[in-house]
Chains A and B, each alone.
Chain A
Amino acid sequence: MRVLYFAWLRQKIGTAEEEIAPPPEVRDVAGLVRWLAQRSPAHAQAFADPRQVRAAVNQDFAGPEHPVAANDEVAFFPPVTGG
């Protein structure tokens, strides 16, 4: 699974992307957030307040219950501020 980070999540975690292989019990975005938060203190800090984090699965916005699978591209970022 490819995971991308943008804006302050990228800065806090210290990388723009990583390849991961979460265990099979990680089935959705919320589960992936819980698993990622345990990877390092930086991950824990980035995901400390899940309300400030949005996600996309395969380049479409996705809520916490959206399923994730091994070959997905999952991105995490703050609420968008373009325009």
Chain B
Amino acid sequence: MARVLVQEAAFDLAAETAALTAGRTDVGGVASFLGVCRADDGLSAMVLEHYPGMTERAIERIAAEAEARWPLTGCTVIHRTGRILPGEPIVLVLTASAHRAAALDSCAFLIDWLKTKAPFWKREEFASGAHRWVEARAEDDAAAARWAGAGGA
């Protein structure tokens, strides 16, 4: 059962990583993806909106899919919402397994599916006062689609 959090607050990467290995000796590797807010085109902040209730359900379903495809000993997904400044973390995916391939592959799978199957929307704010909604990218759909039928240790 994955640890899934949707929150405005920042998270502690080191503490979350340590929690996946604490008190156990069957973990051979922990893979991580940390998504960080870039300052493209003079961006001053990113505002993340989501669909409370559906968001948690959707992430739990994606995590359950990862746990069904790979032999994971642990899995953590934390996605922030609200106003995020350049340089601040947005999302954390951690996967732990006895072997590196399962940890690395499931981590990549989780972030690819999060981008296309969880109800979050990014709005970019600029120093000029302008703002715009981020548009979905075809590359993200392609990245998610590559996992169709893939998986296993």
A23 at the A/B interface (Cβ < 8 Å)?
A: no
The answer on a CB contact under 8 Å between B135 and A59 is no
- Which chain B residues border A78 with CB–CB below 8 Å? 121, 133, 135-136
Are A4 and B51 in contact, with the CB atoms below 8 A?
A: yes
Task: Tell me the dominant secondary structure on chain B's binding face.
Answer: mixed
* Neighbouring A residues of B136 by C-beta, 8 Å: 78-81
Cβ contacts under 8 Å, A80 to chain B:
115-121, 136
Give B90's nearest chain A residue, CB to CB: A83
Contact with A83, one of B91, B123, B133 (Cβ below 8 angstroms): B91
Chain A positions within 8 Å of B, measured between CB atoms, are 4, 6-8, 56, 59-61, 75, 77-83
What residues of B have a CB within 8 angstroms of the CB of A7 in the complex? 49, 121, 123, 133
Q: How far is the CA of A78 from the CA of B134 in the complex (A)?
A: 10
> What are 15 A-B pairs with beta-carbon distances under 8 A?
A6-B121, A59-B53, A75-B119, A78-B133, A80-B118, A80-B119, A80-B121, A80-B136, A82-B50, A82-B79, A82-B91, A83-B90, A83-B115, A83-B120, A83-B140
Q: Which residues of A contact B54 (CB under 8 A)?
A: 56, 59-60, 75
Contacts of A4 in B (CB 8 A): 51
Known: A7-B133, A8-B133, A59-B57. A81 touches B120 (CB 8 A): yes
Q: Which residues of B contact A60 (CB under 8 A)?
A: 54
CB nearest neighbor in A for B118: A82
Q: Is the CB of A77 within 8 A of B114?
A: no
Docked pose: A79 CA to B133 CA in angstroms = 11
> Separation in Å of the A8 CB from the closest CB of chain B?
5
**In the complex, chain B residues whose CB is within 8 Å of the CB of A82:** 48, 50, 79, 91, 114-115, 118-122
Q: Quick one: closest A residue to B55, CB to CB?
A: A82
